[in-house]
Chain A
Amino acid sequence: MFELTSSPIDPAALRTRLAAPEAGALTVFEGRVRNHHQGRPVARLEYEAFDEMARLEGEAIVAESENIHAGATVLCVHRTGTLQIGEIAVWIGVASAHRQTGFAACRHVIEELKLRLPIWKKEHHPDGASEWVNCTVEAGSNAAGDDTHARQVALPEIGPGGQARLAAARVLIVGLGGLGCPAALYLAGSGIGHLTLVDGGKVERSNLARQILFTTAEIGGPKVVAAAARLRLHHPAGRISAHAGDLTAGNARTLVAGQDVVLDCSDNFATRFVLHDACLALGVPLVQAAVHRFEGTLDVFQRGAGGCLHCLWPGRPAAELDFAGNCDGAPVFGPAVGVLGVMQAAEAIKLVLGLEGLAPRQTRLVNLLDGTQLAIERPVRADCPVCARLDQLKAATEQLAASDAALLIDAADVSALGLSARVIFLTEPGDDLSAPGMARTVPAHDLARLRELAADGPLVLACRHGLRSAALARMLRAEGMGAVRALAGGNPPAGLQSFLR
């Protein structure tokens, strides 16, 4: 339960409310007003809450904590108004059967409150001056004197410019098991600006040996929620989004769109093919790893490089490969998933920085038993129905573009067309119109509507692969509507997402 109050907090009364015969532990945190802040004396504090929102967010944090830390009952009260030195500003009590759950839940609640609760405080100094300060933890990489990333910024290959690229990057991690946990920690540690975590599973005791984001306190709770909380502690300046569900054919494109790099840390071929196809279609680089006992494979797939997952396993249904190679519950050497997960993080960071990574079309076989590594070149199949077809679409688009130099426009140049320019995404039957960024869409067959829009001023057409939009733009331009262009490269280059948002 979460409460806001303008009266002084009475800890004794709150402790009584948490009394329960089955609770062997009561863990309490009291946040008090102290007489100094960042070297300046403080005389008193004034707390102001965005009331309704603070209550909702507080309730959500408490519910989330009780959900992750099974068996915890949480009571949290936050003060508002003017507080003197030594008064309690926030009180958190957790009743649980055992102490581990209590400490973990209590820590979780206070850290999340500091990050998320819309409450501000005004410091009154003894000299009469006062200022509003945010209650949240001090922002990491932006705060002056923050040396979180100093040791990697000192690398000539990274430097301040590279660090800024990492801070602006978005990375998607699918699967938070033995591969995903270490990968996520190293990516958060490197300062990636926005990590999105996807996993529908719950934390089990048998995960703990190698899924190093989780502790005994989180057993039974959703993996992504526990992982996000842990990563926020590690990297408070970064944004962490959690998707508590499996990756499916229905949501893959939505999750992949707008990402700079995607990590496949899943444990089955069905998921691997769906994710691979979404990455290939949207042109987002994919770093994939898989492990069997002491050995693992590492691959980087990039559109245009050839040698996709279908070239490697032509015509093989995922179910057949899963039957032969699936590991669910299979024996596994903990450090093997650890090493491969960290290698995935390294490849992802290098892709963001534009550093030399794994050679294109290379499978790396890693053996933790005899300590060997082997690099094998993946085949390119000219008749591949997946990657070769995408290349054909690209070639056809280029052929169209060659007939009209002004036909295609890069996402980065759209803003130069002026404020009246509109980007329209051409939809096809079956497209998920509720997906983010799908606000301004027109069905590709609605020529009358497109002519209407084209008559209104600068118009940029976009579509999934870039061919249909180029063909339609070419047609409208031939009809005399010279202000119509097509977005180069299909949807969505990362830039398009920000136009549509």
Chain B
Amino acid sequence: MSLPSRKLQVRFFAVLREQAGCSSVTVESFALTAAALYAELQSRFPALTFPAALLRVSLNERYADMTAPLSAGDRIVFIPPVAGG
């Protein structure tokens, strides 16, 4: 038995938006965690090279761990450190 794919809404913030070339995308994914989803997105967007270790992820408008499990319909934002002023 294989796991069903789920529809997820992904937004990219700041440098990630530039690397991905878009600010949001809806994906069908088998990824179980935010970390796995990011790896999947990296293969889909080869320019998305920002290291996962330095990312924060927001899951349905709350910061979460990269290991947090994903469910169908989740809204996910990947957020890099931003310091400009």
Contact = CB atoms under 8 A, between A and B. Distances in A.
A291 B61 contact: no
B56 to A, nearest CB: 7
Interface in A345-392: 363, 365, 367, 369-370, 374-379
Contacts of B23: 367, 369-370
Interface stretch (A31-39, A249-257, A322-330, A398-406): A322-330
B1 interface: no
A320 B15 CA distance: 16
A337 interface: yes
Interface stretch (A21-29, A279-287, A292-300, A467-475): A292-300
B85 A324 contact: no
B81 A269 contact: yes
A332 interface: yes
**Dominant SS among interface residues on chain A:** mixed
Given A376-B77, A378-B63, A290 B84 contact: yes
B36 to A, nearest CB: 20
Contact of A325 (B18, B58, B81): B81
B83 interface: yes
Interface size class of chain B, counting residues whose CB lies under 8 Å from the partner chain: 20 to 34
A367 B63 CA distance: 18
A180 interface: yes
A320 B77 contact: no
B12 to A, nearest CB: 10
B4 interface: no
A259 B50 CA distance: 38
A443 B84 CA distance: 41
B84 A312 contact: no
A377 B62 CA distance: 5
Interface string B15-56: 101100001000000000000000000000000001100101
A175 B84 CA distance: 11
Residue of A297, A316, A337 with highest tally of chain B CB at under 10 A: A297
Q: Which 3 A-B pairs have the closest CB atoms?
A: A327-B84, A325-B81, A267-B85
Interface of B: 11, 13-15, 17-18, 23, 50-51, 54, 56, 58, 61-64, 77, 79-85
